[in-house]
Structure 1
Amino acid sequence: MKKLLSAVSIILALTACEKITNEPVVTLSEVKVMENIPAPKNIIMVIADGMGPAYTTSYRYFNDDPATDIIEETVFDRLLVGSASTYPASISGVVTDSAAGATALATGFKTYNGAIALDVNKKSVETVLEFAKKQGKKTGVVVTSQINHATPAGYLTHNESRNNYNAIADSYIDNGIKADVYFGGGWKYFLREDRNLIEEFKASGFQYIDNYQALNTLKANMPVIGLFDDTGLPSALDDSDPYRLSVMTKVAIKQLENSNGYFMLVEASQIDWAGHSNDIATAMAEMSDLAKTMEYLEEYVKHNPDTLVILTADHSTGGLTVGANGKYEWHPEILRTMKSSPSTIAKQLTDSKITQQGLSELLNFDVTKNEVEQIQAAKVFAIAEIAAYKLLAEQEKLKTKKPTINDIIASAIKNIIDIRTNTGWTSGGHTAIDVPLHTLGKGSEVLKGKVDNTDIAKQIFILLGKN
């Protein structure tokens, strides 16, 4: 396929990016969509929240078999076809949040950070999931965050702020039920004292489940909402099933399959959370869960070739660096043996004596005396910080994040892991770098090379039959 972009198209694209408008940006793929591409029956959109290129690269090294001389290819390597830019509407600069990112991926419109499927003028814009539903397809969302978090909300509803969690949850009923399958977390928002949304879903004909084991008991051809934790699910390192995204995806597909096809959003939500926390151990566990999911989808497409799968990220998080401090090294060995997240390990150390043997058992690798002393010192520091916080005036407390022993010990543990692996981070937030684009299946040729995040939605709309 030709990769030529006329000077006119470039000028139009740059001009559109500068204006606050609800007109889609003109890009290369608008030339591509003119071609006659057969439409897939099923479309699976996978968003790896926060997954910049350093995450897929570090996963390759993490997943490597040390017994071989080569570094083995991963599913991300096999399916890589290009990259996507992620910047939001110019009113929010060039670094997107997950809400604006989801809106771009779901609607084809750039918007301001925090917006849920609204344009910059706060007008609702149709999402690909909503359009697929109108076309008679079944729809579903599978996420490891709460189901009313920014990314799933960006496909399911419209709101001026991603932080309006209760209102977003309410809209899943009040604005019409738009999905046939909802899997993720969210008891806190759907089982409230002022409103029991689960009962309302059940009254609308939905099955409700609240544990992974019940995934195997679902009735076919009947919609389902499954909430498995209060907010987001436990991290992959801490959950009862480290491959919970893969398991939920398999069950969701089974529930959605029908003669008219389906559109499904899958989000590996907590890669982003690990990036915000600068937690490489948790990040690699989340990437493993995503890799397992994508390997399943590879096989699924082989047997269901009328399916398109797209994987990308809404942005990158944390400024992850594979190799840091001027040392030409990265050592993921200890990451492969860890059984719990630094946060969970820190909780176990909060009220117990910190010893070399105990810490080694919790981390599942041998720690040095110096590393033990670092954790002990962190605990002493945390106690002092808490005491100082308690002495602050109430107005000062409002300006300061309340320190906790768990957070400070967890930070010390992550520092030890970063030093051991030689991992670097530049931020506790998002970065503006381009993110990987991976595709497979029917119609996948429409997305290759460098695209913008809005192009992905535009292509999906075309494949769904929207002019």
Structure 2
Amino acid sequence: MKKKFTVVAVTLLVTACNATQVSKVEVIEPSHPKNIIMIVGDGMGPAYTSAYRYFNDDPNTAEIEDTVFDRTLVGMSSTYPAPVSGYVTDSAAGATALSAGVKTYNGAIGVDVNKQPVETVLERAKSLGKKTGVVVTSQINHATPASFMAHNVERGNYNEIADSYIENYTNYDFVLGGGWKFFIREDRNLVTEFQDLGFQYIDEYAGLATLQKDKPVIGLFDEVGLPWALDDSDPSRLKTMTKAAIKHIENEQGFFMLVEASQVDWGGHSNDIAAAMGEMRDLAMTLEYLEEYVANHPDTLVVLTADHSTGGFTLGSDGKYSWLPEVLRNMQHSPSKIAEKLLDAEITQEYADELFSFTLTAEELAQLKEAKAPSQEEQQLDSKGNPYADTSANIQKKALYTAAKHIVDKRTITGWTTGAHTAIDVPVFAFGSQSERFNGLNTNTNIANTVFSLLGDKSK
């Protein structure tokens, strides 16, 4: 009996091994992903992903739950630009490094230090027959999208960059973001020109449901950038746009897509933790959707990093060993929107509490009233018939915005060291096909060059 059992066991073991070998052969991963999605969390240094973990934490459990950023983290990246610009990059040089694998000067859009155009991963993907998509929450001709889609010696040449999109219209299949101001101008209506070239144009999110799949798309949803996620009609607009883009550009040859959570950076520049966490939540929901997509489409690669960190954001300040994000979880408006509403109404306890979604102290309420009160200088300007009638209101709105941010900072014990960028390393996240290629410490140009290698050679 023992011998028979041994023979049967060995036979089953061999059969199982063969089955395992067959299974391994069947799931061998291709060296080139069919679809590649690059995501830039603009300005998103490591403090932002740490903050999102605590912001997202369920206070009813003892543990601090992992986030999508925690489970997809694979490494870090340095961000320094070309030596001519020192160690602190701007978004243009940072995005060009990520799009073209080239270190360049601050302000450069898809050009090297000699101001010569360099091929981008989006352009390479298009030359290989893939469809391309760009989804951002800034204007579509802002530094990051422009560095993937255009070539210009100076990021501030917004109209020139927008005009170049018409010249290179065959490179783009699906583009969403803001930018009416730059595309519908007195001297030129680029939207009409895109429509004449066969593009579908939409100017509200509802239009995403009515698009024809066989025609390219340009969508512009605001004058410049989109509203803060906290204030937008769709607080998960990055996820909404990303889903629509993928649905539209899926095809047999595959696709390349750039997604940018543009306004994490704007929250950092403004030292606005409430707005920044709203943007991080939108990005996290987008990543969670992409995790599901990759689970069903394992031939897709997703890689996310930041071009730099912004604001010198710190969790804890003034020597206090604490950070208290609970007030942020219930906020329904950005501090900017709160300032706008308080400017047009009487500042009462009830109204202020409603706008902030927490009860203000007498001191906090007094700070808001003081910020709104016109200064002597403003009163003198108005009494002298100042032709710029909104000067006083603009100053008051800025003062209210600053006061609102300070209230939130003090409540959360949030610190900031600058309104600009910093040179610290940023995290890298990746999942899906060939995602292990991004493990460890990178520099930003390595990320682009790895994507180039995964796209393959044009000559093949």
TM > 0.5 between the two? yes
Equivalent of residue 218 in structure 1, options 207, 211, 220: 211
Distance 1:466 1:328 in 2: 52
Equivalent of residue 285 in structure 1, options 274, 278, 282: 278
**Offset at residue 200 of structure 1 (A):** 1.2
Tell me the residue number matched to 1:140. Answer: 133
**Offset at residue 373 of structure 1 (A):** 0.5
Tell me the residue number matched to 1:27. Answer: none
| CA deviation profile, 1:73-93 (whole Å, cap 9, x unmatched) | 000000000001001111011
Tell me the residue number matched to 1:17. Answer: none
Equivalent of residue 252 in structure 2, options 259, 264, 270: 259
CA contact (8 A) 1:141 1:183 kept: yes
Tell me the residue number matched to 2:18. Answer: none
Q: CA RMSD in A?
A: 2.0
Equivalent residue letter for 2:174: V
Equivalent of residue 48 in structure 1, options 37, 41, 57: 41
| CA deviation profile, 1:109-144 (whole Å, cap 9, x unmatched) | 000100001101101100000011001000010000
Give the gaps of 5 or more residues in structure 2: 1-28
The answer to whether residue 415 in structure 2 is matched with residue 429 in structure 1 is no
CA contact (8 A) 1:386 1:402 kept: no
Count of residues in Structure 1 that have an aligned counterpart in Structure 2: 426
- Of all paired residues, the percent bearing the same amino acid is 62
Tell me the residue number matched to 2:322. Answer: 329
Distance 1:79 1:385 in 2: 53
SS state at 1:404 partner:
helix
Distance 2:380 2:202 in 1: 45
Select between 116-125 and 351-360 the one with higher mean Cα deviation.
351-360
Alignment of 1:165-314 (within 5 A): 165-314=158-307
**Offset at residue 351 of structure 1 (A):** 2.9
**Offset at residue 349 of structure 1 (A):** 1.1
Tell me the residue number matched to 2:435. Answer: 444
Shift of the 466–194 alpha-carbon distance from structure 1 to 2, 3 Å rule, reads same
Shift of the 387–96 alpha-carbon distance from structure 1 to 2, 3 Å rule, reads farther
CA contact (8 A) 2:378 2:392 kept: no
Shift of the 308–117 alpha-carbon distance from structure 1 to 2, 3 Å rule, reads same
User: Which of structure 1's runs of 4+ aligned residues deviate more than 3 A?
Assistant: 382-392, 400-403
**Offset at residue 422 of structure 1 (A):** 0.3
Tell me the residue number matched to 1:3. Answer: none
Select between 401-410 and 309-318 the one with higher mean Cα deviation.
401-410
SS state at 2:160 partner:
helix
**Offset at residue 177 of structure 1 (A):** 3.2
**Offset at residue 389 of structure 1 (A):** 7.5
The answer to whether residue 450 in structure 2 is matched with residue 459 in structure 1 is yes
Tell me the residue number matched to 2:142. Answer: 149
Tell me the residue number matched to 1:13. Answer: none
Equivalent residue letter for 1:291: A
Question: If you compute each CA radius of gyration, which structure gives the higher value, 1 or 2?
Answer: 2
**Offset at residue 222 of structure 1 (A):** 1.6
Tell me the TM-score normalized by structure 1. 0.88
Distance 2:312 2:422 in 1: 6
Distance 2:72 2:330 in 1: 27
Give the gaps of 5 or more residues in structure 1: 1-35
Tell me the TM-score normalized by structure 2. 0.90
Tell me the residue number matched to 1:104. Answer: 97
Tell me the residue number matched to 1:18. Answer: none
CA contact (8 A) 1:389 1:403 kept: no
Alignment of 1:117-132 (within 5 A): 117-132=110-125
Distance 1:253 1:37 in 2: 21
Distance 2:178 2:169 in 1: 20
SS state at 2:43 partner:
coil
